[in-house]
Amino acid sequence: MKNNPVLIRQLFDSESSTYTYLVADTDAEVALLIDPVSEKLSSYIQLLTDLSLQLKYALDTHCHADHITALGPLRDITGCETLAGKPSEMACVDRFFGDGDILQLGSIALRAIYTPGHTDDSYCFFLDGEQQLLFTGDTLLIRGTGRTDFQNGSSEELYDSLFTKLLKLPDQTTVFPGHDYKGWTQSTILEERQSNPRLQVKNWQELDSLLEQLKLMNPKLMDIAIPANKQCGKTSLPDAGLNFLADKPL
């Protein structure tokens, strides 16, 4: 029997509690990265080298407010194609994907699902095969969801994305979130439908009031990260990455 060539690696940035995913077809020796973080650039390059994989694509599920993307430097170093979803303001990318678009990586077909709500440019990626896998960005987190209070976020749209798109996927679909703050690594659609407090609501207004009650602070890097991410991770400061923050009062 032929081995399954699909390789998934979940990589973590502890500064922003971001999960980055390496997806690879090991037969074709090609890979893509979902939501790479600028600070982790060297570890991605090392991993690709160690596994003898050519990086074909680097993509962001949405324009992030809490960390700086590694899309630009990855393109510079590896020659990969960079992607973000319509209507993203990340004009720096090579290509925009839209709802239903297929990203082909060797024998792997990843389907983009437009899931606005956390931001108006949020997408999830579904891999249908022997196993069903869903990379949810910040739309669906483990026992949580993304917030909806900036970057054209909308609780009404988030409710619609969750209930009419993601929860319609097969129960056994593995959920790989874009962040986790408690150490959870993966879940399933069934588990989230049953146990995620934000999915126990009857309408978008109930979801909105749950989110409202959280009284979340803005991410500390928001004013730096969003403008930098619109340029694929370029900052106006000498060094990309966040080292420069060490000597700046936050």
Place of tokens 């703050």: 181
Taking every pair of Cα atoms in the chain, the longest distance, rounded to a whole number of angstroms, is 58
| 81 is an interface residue for Fe ion by CB under 5 A | no
User: Which residues neighbour 248 within 8 Å (Cβ) at sequence distance 6 or greater?
Assistant: none
39 interacts with Fe ion by CB under 5 A: no
Q: Provide the minimum distance between the beta carbon of 1 and Fe ion in the complex, in angstroms, as a whole number.
A: 40
CB of 154 to Fe ion, least distance (A): 14
192 touches Fe ion by CB under 5 A: no
Rounded distance between C-alpha atoms, residue 195 and residue 212, angstroms? 20
Of 36-44, 52-60, 130-138, 199-207, the segment contacting Fe ion by CB under 5 A is 130-138
Q: Within 136-175, which residues bind Fe ion (CB under 5 A)? A: 138
Answer yes or no whether residue 120 interacts with Fe ion by CB under 5 A: no
Closest approach of Fe ion to the CB of residue 104, in Å: 26
Backbone angles phi, psi at 58, to 5 degrees: -130, 130
Q: Nearest residue by C-beta to Fe ion?
A: 138
SS3 for 198-239 is HHCCCCHHHHHHHHHHCCCCCCCCHHHHHHHHHCCCCCCCCC
Kindly state the smallest distance separating residue 148's Cβ from Fe ion, in Å: 10
User: Which of 56/64 has CB closer to Fe ion?
Assistant: 64
Minimal distance, residue 4 CB to Fe ion, in Å: 31
Residue closer to Fe ion, measured from CB, 78 or 145 = 145
Query: What strands, in cross-sheet order, belong to the sheet with 187-188?
Result: 102-105, 108-114, 123-127, 133-135, 174-176, 187-188
Nearer of residues 121 and 138 to Fe ion, judged by Cβ: 138
CA dihedral 126, 72, 15, 32 (to 10 degrees): 30
Residues near Fe ion (CB under 5 A) are: 138
